[in-house]
């Protein structure tokens, strides 16, 4: 990537009247230098079976090229045309709730042969048609792809085949999955029942893993088709997305991001988040750290983020700028809005773009113009920022899925991401740069501290690797429920926390739900309310560990809540219960200090956020963000440099003011 | 109508033993002079296919006639017999939730040919049998008819036919409905997918419109059959009902009342409402105003209202009287209870009638006796009350449906009626007489003030008509979201609020959800709590309008919340946000005063309610109701007259006492 | 039974590795002298159609026998194997929600002929194989059996047949069930519609009764097969369970316990309940009283209860002991945990056993060891405790089902058990021993006081019997809604409360939902809050009754809330409204005193609970339990005896200390 990209999604197909030239003029004014087009427009490009119409694609490509705006072309496959479903009704996925209905996007069975056949036809036709167009810098395959819970009879056949290949023998499955329970034993491959009704977490989790594999396989297949046509300098990407809670929240349950990203040249992501008084930057940071980590620290593309978005997200003055530069500070090389203008019909009419429905300039668009100018002016300073973090968060899709089955008990609502987020948030608020690793990562040794939330399901090998990591001098912070079951969601028959007991120096075999339980003696000085323990507590007995906190309770008071253990050259902290945000931060702070990771950036904390990296010139860039509606200031602690937005020079220990929702970018000399 | 009707629904079919003579004796004591019979009794009148049994009908008709009690005969079609469903299972409607099951009423597809064939047979048989019976004063066709969300394949075919006839070309539909979005484009009529799964609000809303047309067509068809037989002096009516929230709440989403009422000679309605401490009279007033407006101000029938009703509705002493006369005050010529006695089996066992399950006199029945006597005595004074209102509420089923798709954002629960009701309620509480108009009304010019809640979807022509109305001297009060989209639920590409921008003198292109937002400076003097803005706010810039209230907020403070604009000879008020009841009342009060509509009745307010009209003798009747458990008094401001219940004469400025839940009726001399 | 049984459920089939010998060693240490095996293991014992494998059964039987541990063998039929469902998919019940899916237990149609055929095969094969094994003391048929809401077409045919046999004529059904309503009339047996969609409570309740009969018939059938093989000294039992609200709450809606227990030699039950600070002993007492009453006061088996159970149930120190002896105090001869060890896979992984997943000793297991020792040591004193109670609670499955249809109105959540439980709980807290009777019981005369909650549906004969009971000197406490409808859920056409009006000396025909209603003058001295009336109130007029409390309300103040009536030699108390726990206790206390049932045990109250009975030696045993975390003491009021746990002798009026969650057992000399 040779310049920062500032972009919008653009759908000529959806326009109520021809506005292409006017739109391009307005884009140029805003510094937009890339548009993403064509995903989800299958019915326009192939209005009938085998009939193709490239009118919209051609005119947009040509006009953009003429205007000097680059284009990312998306394959249109995540929304199926009416004629296709009429021809092959079985293209609609059968989920546990029954067959899907026509209407929404992402309703298909991505493993369906007829879907695959026609997806391939339309992709090849498009590629053949556009491949040599000079406006195109890259391709996006599909969009926010998942398996959409496809689980019909044909998918079940594929699953049984997958199980045969993976486990070879039913005896192994019966044993490892515990299928004797409630007569679920399978004695003949032909008897393999649909997993839709299963009450066996091992089987259910394996089916989820299989569904995630469908996603990886499907994206790899799409990428391989596109690669047959694309030019070497063009990239293939996918728009990955996060766990959705009305906004981007955490690890995506339905995709193995690290696996699926392998087939991509560059990772892409969409990140949506609350704004106004609720803007914190956490989702921008988390989504960025995750996407950057997908390709081993390579810079990434923010393929979608909000301009106005939902009504409740209309940004305050300054917020659009703050957001845009926050993406860059996490390593993004592109910030692209979904979408240029607001749509006049259908589902996302109130998911507003940079322009409102009237296509006129508005405060949000006007602020975008300042961003576009700054992106262009500062591109060479801000592009390709390299980050080197000493802290990683270990996440696991296997643990996440298993936790859905066995979280805090029937009826509990907390999920894996509810445990991961407070830890990530604590690190964010303390201005600690973070990467993500997953069980497939082989670079654990690059880090001094690894934070491990609720690693509920994991193979022996991973836990042993973590033990070795500590033994060799690494630091780990584990939460409760880590190590509890193996990769087949079979609970370990050893004492808990299973294999990591060795590094953690503790054991337990009982656990309960806390009622009126606190940490004895308020060891983190947080006051009565914040000292409370909620949701889950393990009744821990230390073997070699030092107890950081005991429970305060007439019966459970003899058990440890939080422990720390020296093991080999390293240290393992274990959090045996759900703690308040304040306590969690204190525990993480303690672990950072023990790992000698408490530095200058930790003098600041949220809402003053700082991020840094090294730019292409080899110079260190320090971003400072004020995530609040109150002006603030800080003392700049690094060597002399220049604030890039103002071009003012900055010396060490200078007191720097930041306005509400403002930012500073300092490049060290 | 030549006398006030006081009636009950009566089902000889449901009686646990023969009570006809005793019941008639007790009815006569209570002044009951009309009964409604036979709806929902298909399985009794036609116990088997083609086998008819008129025993119950005949004996009731004869006995009632002998007792001088009139009869309204209902067609029995809203509940289907077992043999019919066994013969044609497809009579049960297929809804988005799947095929209906046998058991409940209103489970059929009213467009099903087999249902229609057998409905016609049973209606004709009944009509042939009863048509010359002297007890009969009119007929009710079906009951609370709707399309019951019928949406199966056969209905879909009818819908596609309707779309072809209405739009002619798929290109028009694709364009106007924005079907290119998410590949929903339809390129061949044969590809037209079921609307059940649609995520396109334009298509979904059109399907709802089509379903309402099924209702109109079906009722018109039934009425036409009955009219072949009925005598000229007999009427045909239908029992319309309102949006149901455990009681009659607002505009009925599933029926175009004004269209469907065209085929009726007289409009009928059922009105159910809370009582005891929650009795306000609002539903009686709203239901009455709406039903009276269906036939251009003609008096109407209350075909059903509660006697005891649900357990929580057992009326306090005086309430049954208060309710009965409140119906008359709105223009009803009949008050009929559902139902005479309480039922001993099945679904509505706890929906109690005038008599409890023991058939004995009880406090409610005893109070009914006083009502029957007064109705008879005062009939000539109170019947055929004519009302002439200067204020109308413009409602729209199209806007209501579109608002379901695009209200205040995903997950919000407020519906169109939640916006209409506070405005209606404010008018009611201020004792302002109101008519209803809808987009088909051609009498807008009869009014001085039109209140327009959330007219979210409307054709240009309607908005232009409203502009003209203001220009010519009319007053309009609009709420937020009015004018936003066209009749196809396509958002206008102009600035908002679309075409009415001209009369309102404002524009906006952004809107948000208020958090900690008030009206600047408490302009209506309502105090901190009531001054808050909730749910929705448009960021309005006045062009020619005067700002009545700005938002109080650090960022949004520059935008207008409530405006008023002189346009031509008239005035348009625009409410850009959700306000408290207190503020809404103040805005409406202001608009009434500007429109010179603040009169003597406005000296009183809820719980003292007054309604008036002109009786057949040309004299003005003033009703005064005390909707509270506390005795009250007021000064009578009109010319000398007589209080009809007591026969006392009343002079101007006389202080009149009303007991708790009491009423006075004064006829001017 | 010649010794107290202390047991665990044991599944060799589910073990992650071979632990049989170790487990038996640990069992012996804990005093476990019985295990229950084999229910739900069909897929292991018959891995393929007609292929049988008794490996697990044999090795467990042999090893247990060798160790002197007895065995209860369960038929495996409540969970079906994969091959069976593959062969006969129709074995999965069709419920109103559609066909069940494979996976869970209890998903079958117990009336399905194919299921029955294969269930019989596997039962006979097992019985043939094990019948002479000396370890076996009894058999459990199926487990927690219900009809699982089976309602498919084949079940419907059986239901129609049942209706023909029971009612003979459709005319009777149409009349008694009120099917004319909403055209539900059935004029031909062939037209009989599925009851799945019915809105007729009479029909729906009859179908529930039919479903309960399916359970009785199925269990009787299984028991009859087992009895062909079993030895005379071996018993057949069934594991009955209670209404489940996350724990055992009240009367089981889906089984007629008294009818189904007829085919059993001894009644069994599972009882699960909250522990820690929420442990009250009520469920242990209620479940015990009910199960003991199933077989006319015979001692019973607790076939399942929790050891650790759910995370939130891990017992405090002392609670496992307290629970175990509480079961004995209610008449249990066996206490058996579900289950020995915790399971490593599938649904109930977090329903923990005596051992955790690590199979090591833990505090819960260690406490069990003390119980086992005491059971063995005191067996001859504590076994076969006989109880003779003067108070009975009359429950009715018919009333329970009818109350589901007609409780406190649409949308209300209270069920029959919500009315029964406060009455039972009041008796428990006052240390009043209780039996249960149902409409089939012919021993009403054994009691001095019968408590009758919400007997909503009952035949004339039962109400007349209750009238006679009072006339002859009995005391009855009725709640609201009793007597309201007949056995067909047809509301009585007389004044309410129907036939019992005679004994109660009251009548009413109206009722409402109380808002701001209390009892006039706080007649029970409970203070403002507890004096409030909620949920339901009948507007009662006494005829001969004495009014114990009037309503306090401006309109309803003239009506009685609670009354008492002398009738013949007895007394009937009627509670016409929902009262607070405090008032309910006072009413019950009053009734007990009037019945001369206020004795020495009533000097104590919860959390000090006492239960008593006569042991095999003819001596009276007094149990004293401290259901609280605070040590307590009481004065022993009976004749001299011995505290069995400590072997200390106890004289009358001795002050005895009980530790938190502690107990004492005193045997009178």
Which of B596, B613, B648 represents a domain boundary (last residue)? B596
The answer to whether A345 contacts B181, with C-beta atoms less than 8 Å apart, is yes
How far, in Å, CA of B393 to CA of B285, rounded?
13
How far, in Å, CA of A457 to CA of B415, rounded?
45
Catalytic site residues of A? 144, 304
Give me the phi and psi of B650, to 5 degrees please: -130, 130
How far, in Å, CA of B300 to CA of B303, rounded?
9
Q: Mutual orientation of helices B282-294 and B416-429 as an angle, nearest 10°?
A: 100
Judgement on whether residues B504 and B462 belong to the same structural domain of the protein: yes
- Residues B584-636: pLDDT tens digits? 999 999 999 999 999 999 999 999 999 999 999 999 999 999 999 999 999 99
What pLDDT sits at residue C333? Answer: 98
Nearest CA among B412, B466, B464 for reference residue B444? B466
Judgement on whether residues C656 and C518 belong to the same structural domain of the protein: no
**B174 occurs within a structural domain:** no
Give me the phi and psi of C487, to 5 degrees please: -65, -15
| CATH label of the domain that carries residue C607 | 2.60.40.1180
The answer to whether C350 contacts A193, with C-beta atoms less than 8 Å apart, is no
* Cα angle C229, C232, C233; round to 5: 120
Place of tokens 């223009």: B331
In the DSSP assignment, the letter for residue A532 is B
Token code pair at residue B110? 């009213």
Structural domain count of chain A: 3
Nearest CA among B411, B403, B409 for reference residue B201? B403
E strand or H helix at B42, and its extent?
A: helix B42-45
A-chain residues within 8 Å CB-CB of B493?
Answer: 16-17, 344, 357-359
Place of tokens 């095929």: B99
B112 Ramachandran zone, left/alpha/beta (phi>0; psi -120 to 50): beta
3-state secondary structure A476-487: EEEECCCCCECC
Which of B596, B622, B645 represents a domain boundary (last residue)? B596
Place of tokens 């004020």: A626
Mean pLDDT, chain A, integer: 98
- Residues A262-299: pLDDT tens digits? 999 999 999 999 999 999 999 999 999 999 999 999 99
Q: Which of A183, A199, A495 sits opposite C347 (nearest CB)?
A: A199
CA–CA min distance B9, chain C (Å):
13
How far, in Å, CA of B489 to CA of A269, rounded?
32
Q: Are B549 and B562 in contact (CB under 8 A)?
A: yes
User: First-to-last CA distance in chain B?
Assistant: 24
Q: List all chains that touch chain A, counting a touch as 3 or more CB pairs closer than 8 Å.
A: B, C
**C183 occurs within a structural domain:** no
A-chain residues within 8 Å CB-CB of C76?
Answer: 183
The answer to whether B349 contacts C200, with C-beta atoms less than 8 Å apart, is no
Nearest CA among A381, A434, A457 for reference residue A641? A381
Judge residue A442's burial from the number of C-beta atoms within 10 Å of its C-beta, 0-12 exposed, 13-18 middle, 19 or more buried. exposed
* Cα angle B491, A349, B203; round to 5: 75
How far, in Å, CA of C83 to CA of A101, rounded?
32
The answer to whether C510 contacts B344, with C-beta atoms less than 8 Å apart, is no
Share of chain B above pLDDT 90, in %: 99
Judgement on whether residues C254 and C357 belong to the same structural domain of the protein: yes
**B92 occurs within a structural domain:** yes
> Chain A: residue nearest C314 by CA?
A512
How far, in Å, CA of B12 to CA of B56, rounded?
6
How far, in Å, CA of A544 to CA of A32, rounded?
59
How far, in Å, CA of C96 to CA of A43, rounded?
39
What pLDDT sits at residue B405? Answer: 97
How far, in Å, CA of C539 to CA of C576, rounded?
8
Q: Which of B317, B343, B358 sits opposite C555 (nearest CB)?
A: B317
**B359 occurs within a structural domain:** yes
DSSP code string of C320-340: HHHHHHHHHHTTEEEEEEE-S
> Chain C: residue nearest B15 by CA?
C178
Judgement on whether residues C470 and C617 belong to the same structural domain of the protein: no
Structural domain for B636, as ranges: 603-668
Which of C596, C623, C655 represents a domain boundary (last residue)? C596
User: Three-state DSSP class for B650?
Assistant: strand
How far, in Å, CA of A455 to CA of A435, rounded?
17
**A647 occurs within a structural domain:** yes
Place of tokens 């960025």: A288
Size of chain C in residues: 669
Is residue A410 a known part of a binding site?
no
Place of tokens 């194919």: C114
Judgement on whether residues A339 and A399 belong to the same structural domain of the protein: no
Is residue C143 a known part of a binding site?
yes
How far, in Å, CA of C472 to CA of C181, rounded?
41
Share of chain A above pLDDT 70, in %: 100
User: Three-state DSSP class for B537?
Assistant: strand
Q: Is the peptide bond before A128 cis (omega within 30 degrees of 0)?
A: no
- Chain CA centroid to CA C54, Å: 34
In the DSSP assignment, the letter for residue B515 is S
Judgement on whether residues B310 and B454 belong to the same structural domain of the protein: no
What pLDDT sits at residue B409? Answer: 87
Give me the phi and psi of C9, to 5 degrees please: -80, 140
How far, in Å, CA of A179 to CA of A173, rounded?
8
Judgement on whether residues A339 and A436 belong to the same structural domain of the protein: no
Q: Are C318 and A153 in contact (CB under 8 A)?
A: no
Name the band, by pLDDT with cuts 50, 70 and 90, for residue B1. confident
Alpha helices, H only, C200-276: 201-229, 257-260
Is residue A313 a known part of a binding site?
yes
Would you call B144 a catalytic residue per the annotation?
A: yes
How far, in Å, CA of A37 to CA of A23, rounded?
14
Token code pair at residue C475? 């005391």
Helices (H) and strands (E) in chain A, counts: 17, 33
What pLDDT sits at residue C410? Answer: 83
**A181 occurs within a structural domain:** no
Residues 6+ apart with CB under 8 A from A275: A306, A309, A313, A314, A315, A316, A319, A323
Measure Cα distances from B597 to B49, B426, B475 in Å. 60, 14, 11
Q: Which of B43, B317, B362 sits opposite C184 (nearest CB)?
A: B43
E strand or H helix at A512, and its extent?
A: strand A511-512
How far, in Å, CA of C104 to CA of C88, rounded?
16
| CATH label of the domain that carries residue C536 | 3.40.50.880
Judgement on whether residues B582 and B617 belong to the same structural domain of the protein: no
E strands along A513-626, which residues?
518-519, 534-538, 541-542, 546-552, 560-567, 570-575, 577-578, 608-614, 620-626
C-chain residues within 8 Å CB-CB of A407?
Answer: none
What pLDDT sits at residue A412? Answer: 87
Q: Is the pLDDT of residue A409 over 90?
A: no
Judgement on whether residues B292 and B233 belong to the same structural domain of the protein: yes
Judgement on whether residues A638 and A654 belong to the same structural domain of the protein: yes
Name the band, by pLDDT with cuts 50, 70 and 90, for residue A507. very high
What pLDDT sits at residue A220? Answer: 98
Tell me the longest C-alpha to C-alpha distance in chain C.
76
Token code pair at residue A563? 């422990």
Judgement on whether residues B413 and B357 belong to the same structural domain of the protein: no
Residue C639 CB neighbour total at 10 angstroms? 12
Token code pair at residue C171? 């005319």
A624 has which bridge partners? A610, A664
What pLDDT sits at residue B561? Answer: 98
User: First-to-last CA distance in chain A?
Assistant: 24
Q: Indicate whether this model's pTM tops 0.90.
A: yes
Judgement on whether residues C584 and C651 belong to the same structural domain of the protein: no
What pLDDT sits at residue C619? Answer: 98
**C172 occurs within a structural domain:** no
The active-site residue out of C144, C336, C501, C667 is C144
Mean pLDDT per 10-residue segment, chain C (669 residues) = 95 97 98 97 97 98 98 98 98 97 97 98 98 98 98 98 98 98 97 97 98 98 98 98 98 98 98 98 98 97 98 98 98 98 97 98 98 98 98 98 94 94 98 98 97 98 98 98 98 97 98 98 98 98 98 98 98 98 98 98 98 98 98 98 98 98 98
A126 Ramachandran zone, left/alpha/beta (phi>0; psi -120 to 50): alpha
Sheet containing A511-512: which strands, arranged edge to edge? A511-512, A534-538, A577-578
Rg (CA), chain B: 26
The answer to whether B83 contacts C512, with C-beta atoms less than 8 Å apart, is no
C-chain residues within 8 Å CB-CB of A181?
Answer: 11, 14, 40, 343, 345-348
Residue C461 CB neighbour total at 10 angstroms? 11
How far, in Å, CA of B623 to CA of B625, rounded?
7
Would you call B529 a catalytic residue per the annotation?
A: no
CA–CA min distance B161, chain A (Å):
18
| CATH label of the domain that carries residue A341 | 3.20.20.80
**B424 occurs within a structural domain:** yes
User: Three-state DSSP class for A262?
Assistant: helix
């Amino acid at each position: 990537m040779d310049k920062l990209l500032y972009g919008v999604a653009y759908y000529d197909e959806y326009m109520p009247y021809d506005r292409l030239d006017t739109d391009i003029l307005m884009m140029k004014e805003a510094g937009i230098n890339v548009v993403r087009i064509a995903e989800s427009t299958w019915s326009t490009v192939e209005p009938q079976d085998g009939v193709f119409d490239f009118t919209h694609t051609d005119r947009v490509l040509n006009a953009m090229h003429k205007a000097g705006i680059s284009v990312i072309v998306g394959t249109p496959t995540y929304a199926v045309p009416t004629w296709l479903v009429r021809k092959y009704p079985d293209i609609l996925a059968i989920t546990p709730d029954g067959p899907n209905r026509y209407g929404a996007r992402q309703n298909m069975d991505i493993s369906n042969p007829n879907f695959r056949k026609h997806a391939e036809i339309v992709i090849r036709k498009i590629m053949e048609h556009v491949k040599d167009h000079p406006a195109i810098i890259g391709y996006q395959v599909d969009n926010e792809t998942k398996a959409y819970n496809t689980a019909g009879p044909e998918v079940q056949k594929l699953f049984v085949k997958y199980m045969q290949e993976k486990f070879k023998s039913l005896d192994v499955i019966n044993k490892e999955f515990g299928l004797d329970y409630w007569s679920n034993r399978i004695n003949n491959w032909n008897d393999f029942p649909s997993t839709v009704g299963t009450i066996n977490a091992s089987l259910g989790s394996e089916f989820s893993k299989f569904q995630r594999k469908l996603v990886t396989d499907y994206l790899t297949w799409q990428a391989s088709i596109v690669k047959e046509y694309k030019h070497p300098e063009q990239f293939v990407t996918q728009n990955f997305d996060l766990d959705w809670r009305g906004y981007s929240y955490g690890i995506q349950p339905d995709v193995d991001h690290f696996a699926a990203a392998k087939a991509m040249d560059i990772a892409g992501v969409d990140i949506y988040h609350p704004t106004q008084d609720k803007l914190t930057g956490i989702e921008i940071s988390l989504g960025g750290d995750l996407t950057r980590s997908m390709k081993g620290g390579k810079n990434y593309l923010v393929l979608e983020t909000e301009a106005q978005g939902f009504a409740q997200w209309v940004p305050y003055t300054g917020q659009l700028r703050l957001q845009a530069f926050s993406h860059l500070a996490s390593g993004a090389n592109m910030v692209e809005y979904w979408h240029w203008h607001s749509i006049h019909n259908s589902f996302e009419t109130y998911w507003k773009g940079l322009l409102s429905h009237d296509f006129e300039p508005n405060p949000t668009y006007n602020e975008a113009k300042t961003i576009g100018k700054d992106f262009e002016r500062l591109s060479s300073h801000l592009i390709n920022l390299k980050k080197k973090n000493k802290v990683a968060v270990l996440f696991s899709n296997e643990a996440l899925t298993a936790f859905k089955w066995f979280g805090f008990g029937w009826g509990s609502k907390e999920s894996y991401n509810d445990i991961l987020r407070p830890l990530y948030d604590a690190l964010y608020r303390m201005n600690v740069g973070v990467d993500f690793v997953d069980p497939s990562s082989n670079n654990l040794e690059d880090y001094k501290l690894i934070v491990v939330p609720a690693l509920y399901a994991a193979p022996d090998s991973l836990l042993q690797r973590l033990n070795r990591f500590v033994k060799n001098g690494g630091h780990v912070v584990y939460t409760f429920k880590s190590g509890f079951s193996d990769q087949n969601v079979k609970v370990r028959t050893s004492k808990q926390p299973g294999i990591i007991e060795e590094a953690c120096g503790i054991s337990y075999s009982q656990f309960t739900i806390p009622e009126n339980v606190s940490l004895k003696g308020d060891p983190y000085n947080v006051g009565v309310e914040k000292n409370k323990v909620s949701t889950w507590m393990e009744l821990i007995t230390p073997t070699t560990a030092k107890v950081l906190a005991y429970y305060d309770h007439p019966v459970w008071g003899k058990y440890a809540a939080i422990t720390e253990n020296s093991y080999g050259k390293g240290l393992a902290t274990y959090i045996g219960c759900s703690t308040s945000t304040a306590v969690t931060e204190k525990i993480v702070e303690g672990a950072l200090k023990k790992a000698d990771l408490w530095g200058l950036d930790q003098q600041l904390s949220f809402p003053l956020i700082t991020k840094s990296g090294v730019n292409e010139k080899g110079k260190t860039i320090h971003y400072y963000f004020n995530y609040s509606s109150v002006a603030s200031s800080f003392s700049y602690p690094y060597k002399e440099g220049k604030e890039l937005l103002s071009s003012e020079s900055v010396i060490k220990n200078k007191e720097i003011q930041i306005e509400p929702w403002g930012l500073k970018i300092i490049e060290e000399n």
